[in-house]
Structure 1
Amino acid sequence: MSNHIAFRTPPLAPAWQRWLVYSPLARIVIFTACAFGIGYVVHAGMSALGWLSKTATPLHHALAGLSIEFLATTIGYAILVWLIERRHMREFALRTLPTYGLAGLLGGFLIFSTVVGLLWLFGSYHVLGTNTQVDWLPAVLIVGIGAGVGEEIITRGVLFRIVEEGLGTWWALAISAVFFGGAHIFNPGATLWSSAAIAIEAGILLALVFHVTRTLWACIGLHAAWNITQGTIYGIPVSGGDAKGLLLSSRTGPDWLSGGAFGAEASVVALAVCTSVSVVLLLIALRRRSIVRPSWSRRVNAAYEATPTS
């Protein structure tokens, strides 16, 4: 249904603006250029402060990384929405933060806790002890908040939303999921399988969360809680990155079960759990009839409905 589309090209816009400013590809390019430019400036500022040097503390490194990712994506997105699309940023409405944000945090914790619980039942996940002295704040800032905000703005707020406006929901799901999985291919311990798993279990799941709720708070909350629960609580590598959690743990068994060096995200257990949640969200979307058709199909239908009948 077209009423789920956040942006429509102004009807009186000249042809050059339709292609170079308002088209889906142009808006994605504009956001990318803004984000890179702002990120470069912030990176230079962090370097001048010495927060990126080898002698900087882990907290300073984390704050620098968070600042670069957070400011680049949020300011870039604000420029896209307010200056190019010229609309209210409904997907970031503060009134939805307490409900959808907290729901996302709870959902991310419950989903990954279910994955870990099943791995434990299957004899793959083992708790070796606790580490109460773990320095958890840098990981929460970078892997939790930074990745949650930055990656969700890029992948769901920009890529999925804009592609959906042009090509429709099905293509947007496929393209954003493939992009999200491919973005993790160079992570430590990554394989083609781990990227495919990330694309299906997280790429499709988070895109459907955005499609159903139309708010980025739910996506950010789920993404951040997923990473924090996985690494900071259960001590499992987050997308291949080393994690020191409150629980000292190990995983045994074949890689298809344990996830191997990449972490539990490459486990068929995580794939099954997340796919189950995605199916429920997809059924909700189908029941609501909220699947967006491609733009050319919407135009043909609108023209047909506007044709007077004799």
Structure 2
Amino acid sequence: MSEPAVAFVTPVTAPRWARWLLFSPVARIVIFTALLVAFGAAANTLLGVFGWNAKQASPDTRAWVQLLSRAVPTVLAYLVLVKVVERRAVTELAARRILPDGALGVAAGLLLFSVVVGALWLLGSYHVVGTDPHATWLPALLTAGLGAGIAEEIICRGVLYRIVEEGLGSGWALLISALLFGAAHLANPNATPWAALAIAIEAGLLFGLLYHLTRSLPLCMGLHAAWNFAQGTIYGIPVSGLDADGWLVSRRTGPDWLSGGAFGAEASVVALALCSLCSLGLLVVAVRRGTLVRPAWRRR
């Protein structure tokens, strides 16, 4: 039986020093991190020169600045890692896949979170108390939507999951990338260990398995962005602890384990259960297709 393919394999002709300092999983993660920090600093400096990140800038301008300062350095760092270090085509972020895969991810994200809200409504936890057609949607779309979707998916799936999978296999890659994805949300307002664990399970595993099966970053980005946008701007629920300004003015009642509390619906057992069912379905597909990657020392 042939082994599932990984995106990068160390060249057989690579000298010993390059195998450890350039091509090893740890080295490539470190290289990406250094590039991200350097490009991020350059972007912030450039935005400051033009005065776009001034405190008196409008909310829309600040949102554009936040998107540019997060997404552009992350994309550039990833392109350098793949094209210069790994020397391969960026198939997981190919231009021809951005629109169709991104649109499919957006549709899936809107549907999935709508099902979460529908379940909360049926359980008597979610209540619409009004509407606000003038809600400020653009900053949310640019920051919690596109900014988070692009940057976090490249970091957690394109770099962390993909590279760890090459060395330790799919199982450890899923576990490590999911736990770090959840831990990153501990710095958010109203975050709790339970909220971070819930995000690790419901989103970290789901996005990791989705990337594993499709090898498409735009698909993961679209789902991530749409989930956040639907949660905050459409349904008026805090996004990972951040205040929401939604078209629907809502409130949630009941215990925090059901409603998600001040952190938002992502800390609800409803979101946890529904996303876990989706993850289980994706895992079954992966097992049946035989796509799960074994650790490097067990592969041929």
Q: TM-score range by the shorter chain?
A: over 0.9
> 4+ runs of 1 displaced by more than 3 Å?
none
Partner of 2:282: 281
Matches within 5 A, 1:85-234: 85-234=86-235
Q: What whole-Å deviation, never above 9, does each CA across 1:236-257 have from its counterpart, x for those lacking one? A: 0100011101111111110000
Q: Distance in 2 between matches of 1:133 and 1:110?
A: 23
Cα offset for 1:108?
0.5
Q: What whole-Å deviation, never above 9, does each CA across 1:189-213 have from its counterpart, x for those lacking one? A: 0000000000000000000000010
Q: Distance in 1 between matches of 2:195 and 2:71?
A: 26
Cα offset for 1:122?
0.7
Cα offset for 1:3?
3.9
Q: Is the 8 A contact 2:4 2:290 kept in 1?
A: no
Give the secondary structure class of the aligned counterpart of 1:6.
coil
Q: Distance in 2 between matches of 1:228 and 1:140?
A: 6
> Is 1:240–2:241 an aligned residue pair?
yes
Cα offset for 1:2?
3.8
Give the secondary structure class of the aligned counterpart of 2:11.
coil
Range with bigger deviation, 51-60 or 232-241? 51-60
Larger Rg: 1
Q: Distance in 1 between matches of 2:100 and 2:290?
A: 23
Q: Distance in 2 between matches of 1:234 and 1:241?
A: 14
Q: Which amino acid aligns with 2:44?
A: H
Give the secondary structure class of the aligned counterpart of 1:183.
helix
Partner of 1:7: 8
Give the secondary structure class of the aligned counterpart of 1:127.
strand
Q: Distance in 2 between matches of 1:94 and 1:276?
A: 31
Give the secondary structure class of the aligned counterpart of 2:244.
coil
Q: Is the 8 A contact 2:31 2:81 kept in 1?
A: yes
Partner of 2:257: 256
Q: Which amino acid aligns with 2:20?
A: W
Q: What whole-Å deviation, never above 9, does each CA across 1:164-202 have from its counterpart, x for those lacking one? A: 000000000000000000000010000000000000000
Give the secondary structure class of the aligned counterpart of 2:187.
coil
Cα offset for 1:54?
1.9
TM-score with structure 2 setting the length: 0.98
Cα offset for 1:71?
1.1
Q: What whole-Å deviation, never above 9, does each CA across 1:5-55 have from its counterpart, x for those lacking one? A: 000000010010000000000000000000110000101122222222221
Q: Is the 8 A contact 2:210 2:220 kept in 1?
A: yes
Question: Which structure 1 residue ranges, 5 or more long, are not aligned?
Answer: 303-310
Cα offset for 1:232?
0.9
Give the secondary structure class of the aligned counterpart of 2:186.
coil
Cα offset for 1:217?
1.1
Partner of 1:305: none
Partner of 1:306: none
Q: Which amino acid aligns with 2:35?
A: C
| RMSD, aligned α-carbons | 0.9
Q: Is the 8 A contact 2:4 2:292 kept in 1?
A: no
Give the secondary structure class of the aligned counterpart of 1:250.
strand
Cα offset for 1:135?
1.5
Cα offset for 1:56?
1.1
Q: Which amino acid aligns with 1:269?
A: V
